[in-house]
C-alpha cells in the first residue's frame, strides 16, 4: 500500500478499512432512491429521474442536520464523520409511515391520525428550526 499520508502502518490500515463506507451509500442509492432502474425509454426523462434521485439523496443529510435529527458520533481512525446520519428507509419509517384513516367530515375528506404524543413531539421538534 502506498500513500502520501503521514500515518503509522496501524493508522493507515484503519484509514483504509474505513473507506468501505461508500458501499453503504451505493446500496442506499440503488435501493431507497431507485437508481438501479431505468423508469422510461426516454433519455431526458431518465436523466431527470437520476438528477432528482441524487438531489434527494444530497438533501437528506442537510434536512437531518437542520432539523436536529442527527446525533453526535465520536470520531475514530476508521470513522471520520462527526454525525450519525439516518438512512432514507429509517427516515421514512420515522416520519412518514404512520397509521391513519381517511374520514369524511362535513363532506370533506380528512386524514385523521391516532393520538401519538411521542410522534407529535418529534414533529414539533423537527418543525421548530424551520419556523422563521
Residues 25-66 pLDDT 10s? 888 889 888 888 888 999 999 999 999 999 999 999 899 988
Any domain includes 48: yes
Any domain includes 66: yes
Q: pTM of the predicted model, to two decimals?
A: 0.67
Q: Is 20 left (phi over 0), alpha (psi -120 to 50) or beta?
A: alpha
Any domain includes 129: no
Highest mean pLDDT among 35-39, 40-44, 78-82, 117-121: 40-44
Cell numbers at 126, concatenated? 423537527
- CA–CA distance, 33 with 27 (Å, rounded to integer): 9
Any domain includes 126: no
Contacts of 58 (CB under 8 A, 6+ apart): none
Q: Which domain holds residue 23?
A: 9-94
SS3 33: coil
- CA–CA distance, 28 with 36 (Å, rounded to integer): 10
Any domain includes 13: yes
Any domain includes 59: yes
Quote the number of domains for the chain. 1
Amino acid at each position: 500500500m502506498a500513500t502520501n499520508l503521514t500515518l503509522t502502518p496501524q493508522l493507515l490500515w484503519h484509514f483504509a478499512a474505513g473507506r468501505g463506507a461508500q458501499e453503504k451509500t451505493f446500496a442506499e442509492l440503488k435501493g431507497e432512491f431507485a437508481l438501479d432502474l431505468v423508469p422510461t425509454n426516454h433519455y431526458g426523462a431518465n436523466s431527470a429521474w437520476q438528477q432528482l434521485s441524487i438531489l434527494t439523496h444530497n438533501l437528506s443529510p442537510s434536512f437531518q442536520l437542520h432539523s436536529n435529527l442527527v446525533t453526535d458520533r465520536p470520531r475514530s481512525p476508521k470513522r471520520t464523520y462527526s454525525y450519525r446520519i439516518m438512512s432514507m428507509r429509517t427516515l421514512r419509517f420515522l416520519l412518514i409511515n404512520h397509521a391513519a384513516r381517511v374520514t369524511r367530515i362535513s363532506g370533506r375528506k380528512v386524514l385523521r391520525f391516532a393520538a401519538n404524543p411521542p410522534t407529535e413531539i418529534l414533529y414539533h421538534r423537527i418543525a421548530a428550526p424551520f419556523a422563521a
